[in-house]
Amino acid sequence: MINIFKRSKTIALGTDEFLDKVDLGILTLKKGIGNYIDGNMTEFEHSLKSIVKLETEADAIQRKVENDFYLHALMPNYASDIMNLIEKVDDIIDQARDILSEFDVEKPGIPDEVKKDYLELASLSAHAAESVVSATRTFFISPDDVKDKIQKVLFYQRETGVYSNNLKRKVFQELGELRLSEKIHLRYFALHIERISDNAKTVAHLLSSLVIKIKM
């Protein structure tokens, strides 16, 4: 069993703190979407400010972890792969921030008929992201134990894709009172929420590749 951090507690703490920020960002995204759909704009604005702060803090921690990783020359044969992994995890909180920003700027009208659908879509996509953060934590401590966690990520990503397609079908086929432009706008937001799970899938595949490389 390999522990990537056995030579540096500083990097271990930094990586854990970085993943904590991403985890909080995912929770804030889910809460923010819920507040927007419920019409609680004061709390939505709070979520937006929180996720911007979390994303900024995550970026700063990410840069420090990368510098420390190279400074301590940890696993030089895999350093670039691990830095790419961390960058792709950071993409998740970047995307989460962008989604709430888009809700704030574009103010999409979510019809009552699909409010629960958007909440469920956000929940499924967030589950995929939360699962891949957990898998990433495990990778840095015990790569041999990552496989089952990756399967969970892929399960939620598939479920998100199926649910998103059903939601888009409902928007275009059942909400006849909406203009085409409104339907396209709703599809746009479904796609962006779904993309969180797609980013999680990307990280899961990187984890799989890294585990294989380390074992070779």
Label residue 214 by pLDDT band (50, 70, 90): confident
> Average pLDDT, whole number, for the chain?
91
For the chain, the distance separating the N- and C-terminal CA atoms, rounded to the nearest angstrom, is 13
* Residue 198 CA: distances (Å) to CA of 11, 122, 139, 166, 181: 27, 13, 19, 17, 25
Percent of the chain scoring above 70 in pLDDT: 92
Decide: 92 and 196 in contact? Cβ < 8 Å. yes
What domain range includes position 142? 9-215
Count up the domains in the chain and report the number: 1
More confident residue, 14 or 72: 14
pTM of the predicted structure, to 2 decimals: 0.92
Question: Which CATH number goes with the domain that contains 70?
Answer: 1.20.58.220
pLDDT on residue 216: 66
Q: Is residue 52 part of a domain?
A: yes
Counting Cα atoms < 13 Å in the Cβ hemisphere of 186 gives 28
- State pLDDT tens for residues 140-159: 888 889 988 999 999 999 99
The model's pLDDT over 46-73, given as tens digits with 9 standing for 90+, comes to 999 999 999 999 999 999 888 877 776 5
Please answer whether residues 152 and 132 qualify as being in contact, where contact means their C-beta atoms are separated by less than 8 angstroms: no
pLDDT in tens, 186-208: 999 999 999 999 999 999 999 99
Residue 3 belongs to a domain: no
